[in-house]
């Protein structure tokens, strides 16, 4: 058991929840810069994909130094693949590794991963323990080659460590594949410091119905550094309301375990004031905020000022600039940016017309032109 950065965080911890398809590197950069959450967690990445050399999956593991502490989230059901994925995250310089045991989607939980693990406590424990073993082996000097990480993934990691961020949509070119285009942008070269990184869990209160006490006790037997608990069952998906009474039960259990683990509550927190109220009522060490961050990177900021239309349009442009810098060299990759543009542009005069135009945008230049036109028509 190793608590790592989790035990050093100022409390209350108010962090950004991982959101697949939303909290990519550009979104996390904006949130870290404008809101400064206590901790950020990446979108989840499939351990099997990494195991099979899918370099594309590493797009989720791009991050900026401003995000620290930043945690890599992984999911799957194959313990050996988890072992290797821990090496990947550690070599990429993350501050911690989070295991997803909460995703309700059929594609994930149907394969026994994500919230599917709530129904298989023995496998859930095996996965936590193999991740803890992996980080110990990595801290003791075991290499990516010795851990048998896929060669394409090793090539990518070595490029990043040398200061070149290759295109994540294809495997980087190797010397014997000279014809393969090597697209890359620069990043800061680094050598990861081998140390024990904390392993944490993000999960739900149950599968069909709440089984909080039993499930949290099962997890605590493995001594994870942090547990984030979303107050819904898998069956609820995102419907109904998060049950903060169940989260309070879990907080008691985690603190009674007495080894210093933290617990974060999660579900339906809409403002900083909301977060503070939940923390006071339930005794959790903090919360993660998910959906309320859409179009609102300032949500974590202690100065809860009202943000003008101008602020929001400037943020939309800055976000697009960052997105383009990170992902722009990949043809046809503008679509994921559009939902963010829609979220920035709501609840102000003629926002709907602006949104419709932005949905047709395909580049930073398009976004800048559309926003400039809006500003000239709406002085
Ligand atoms: C679009 C979307 C993607 C999500 N992806 C992930 C994910 O990759 N990993 C994870 O642990 N939870 C994921 N979640 C769940 C959120 O992290 C969070 O637990 C949930 O949205 C409840 O918190 P909220 O009410 O503050 O949004 C996702 C949620 C949404 C809406």
34 within domain boundaries: yes
143: domain CATH number? 3.20.20.70
pLDDT for the residue 303 = 79
76 within domain boundaries: yes
Point out the domain boundary residue: 293, 326, 355. Answer: 293
Report long-range pairs for 327-333 (Cβ below 8 Å, ≥24 apart): 327/24, 327/25, 327/26, 327/59, 328/364, 329/167, 329/183, 329/185, 330/167, 330/168, 330/169, 333/169
Judgement on whether residues 149 and 244 belong to the same structural domain of the protein:
yes
Q: Which atom of ligand 1 is nearest to the CA of 114?
A: 11
Mean pLDDT of the chain: 93
pLDDT for the residue 328 = 72
Cα-to-centroid distance, 290 and ligand 1 (Å): 6
354 within domain boundaries: yes
Point out the domain boundary residue: 239, 259, 293. Answer: 293
CA distance 103 to 96: 19
pLDDT for the residue 332 = 60
Tally of helices (H runs) and strands (E runs) in the chain: 13, 10
366 within domain boundaries: yes
194 within domain boundaries: yes
CA distance 80 to 358: 44
327 within domain boundaries: yes
Judgement on whether residues 246 and 332 belong to the same structural domain of the protein:
no
Q: Ligand 1 pocket test: which of 19, 46, 47, 336 has the largest number of ligand atoms within 8 Å of its C-beta?
A: 19
Judgement on whether residues 280 and 337 belong to the same structural domain of the protein:
no
304 within domain boundaries: no
Judgement on whether residues 22 and 131 belong to the same structural domain of the protein:
yes
Beta-carbon count within 10 A of 360 CB: 9
Residues having CB within 6 Å of any atom of ligand 1: 17-22, 43-44, 73, 100, 102-103, 202, 230, 266-269, 289-292
Judgement on whether residues 186 and 333 belong to the same structural domain of the protein:
no
**Number of folded domains that form the chain:** 2
Q: Which residue has the tokens 């993350």?
A: 94
Judgement on whether residues 30 and 65 belong to the same structural domain of the protein:
yes
Q: Ligand 1 pocket test: which of 18, 264, 288 has the largest number of ligand atoms within 8 Å of its C-beta?
A: 18
Judgement on whether residues 273 and 313 belong to the same structural domain of the protein:
no
Which one, of 30, 60, 135, 129, lies nearest residue 91 by Cα? 135
125 within domain boundaries: yes
Judgement on whether residues 33 and 78 belong to the same structural domain of the protein:
yes
pLDDT for the residue 170 = 45
Judgement on whether residues 286 and 361 belong to the same structural domain of the protein:
no
Q: Which atom of ligand 1 is nearest to the CA of 44?
A: 8
Cα-to-centroid distance, 234 and ligand 1 (Å): 12
Residues 209, 212, 217, 218, CA torsion sign: positive
For ligand 1, atom 10: residue with the closest CA: 18
What domain range includes position 322?
309-377
Point out the domain boundary residue: 293, 324, 341. Answer: 293
For ligand 1, atom 22: residue with the closest CA: 267
Judgement on whether residues 208 and 338 belong to the same structural domain of the protein:
no
CA distance 190 to 212: 41
For ligand 1, atom 3: residue with the closest CA: 19
Residues 57 and 95 sit within 8 Å (Cβ to Cβ)? no
Q: pLDDT by residue (tens digit) across 254-305?
A: 999 999 999 999 999 999 999 999 999 999 999 999 999 999 999 999 877 7
Judgement on whether residues 153 and 191 belong to the same structural domain of the protein:
yes
Residue 256 burial class via C-beta count within 10 angstroms: exposed 0-12, middle 13-18, buried 19 and up: exposed
Judgement on whether residues 273 and 315 belong to the same structural domain of the protein:
no
Write out residues in the chain with pLDDT < 70, as ranges: 168-184, 329-332
pLDDT for the residue 168 = 66
pLDDT for the residue 221 = 98
């Amino acid at each position: 058991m190793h608590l790592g950065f989790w035990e050093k965080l100022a409390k209350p911890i108010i962090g950004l929840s991982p959101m697949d398809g939303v909290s990519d590197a550009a979104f996390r950069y904006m949130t870290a810069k404008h809101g400064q959450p206590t901790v950020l967690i990446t979108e989840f990445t499939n351990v099997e994909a990494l195991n099979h050399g899918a370099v594309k999956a590493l797009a989720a593991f791009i991050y900026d130094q401003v995000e620290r502490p930043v945690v890599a989230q992984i999911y799957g059901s194959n313990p050996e693949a988890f072992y290797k994925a821990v090496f990947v995250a550690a070599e990429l310089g993350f501050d911690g590794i989070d295991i997803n045991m909460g995703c309700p989607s059929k594609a994930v939980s149907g394969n026994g991963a994500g919230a599917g693990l709530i129904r298989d406590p023995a496998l859930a424990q095996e996965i936590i323990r193999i991740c803890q073993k992996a980080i110990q082996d990595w801290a003791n000097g075991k290499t990516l080659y010795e851990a048998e990480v896929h060669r394409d993934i090793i090539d990518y990691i070595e490029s990043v460590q040398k200061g070149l961020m290759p295109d994540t949509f294809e495997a980087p070119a190797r010397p014997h594949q000279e014809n393969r285009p090597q697209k890359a942008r620069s990043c800061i070269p680094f050598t990861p410091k081998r140390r024990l990184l904390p392993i944490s869990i993000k999960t739900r209160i149950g599968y069909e119905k709440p089984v909080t006490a039993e499930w949290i006790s099962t997890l605590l037997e493995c001594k994870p550094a942090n547990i984030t608990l979303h107050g819904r069952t898998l069956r609820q998906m995102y419907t109904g309301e998060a049950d903060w009474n169940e989260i309070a039960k879990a907080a008691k259990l985690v603190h009674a375990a007495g080894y210093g683990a933290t617990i974060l509550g999660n579900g339906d927190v809409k403002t900083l004031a909301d977060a503070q109220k939940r923390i006071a009522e339930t005794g959790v060490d903090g919360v993660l905020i998910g959906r309320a961050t859409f179009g609102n990177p300032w949500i974590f900021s202690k100065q809860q000022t009202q943000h003008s239309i101008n602020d929001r349009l400037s943020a939309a442009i800055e976000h697009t600039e960052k997105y383009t810098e990170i992902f722009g060299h990949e043809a046809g990759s503008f679509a994921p940016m559009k939902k963010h543009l829609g979220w920035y542009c709501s609840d102000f005069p003629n926002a709907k017309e602006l949104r419709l135009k932005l949905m047709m945008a395909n580049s930073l230049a398009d976004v800048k032109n559309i926003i400039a036109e809006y500003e000239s028509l709406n002085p």
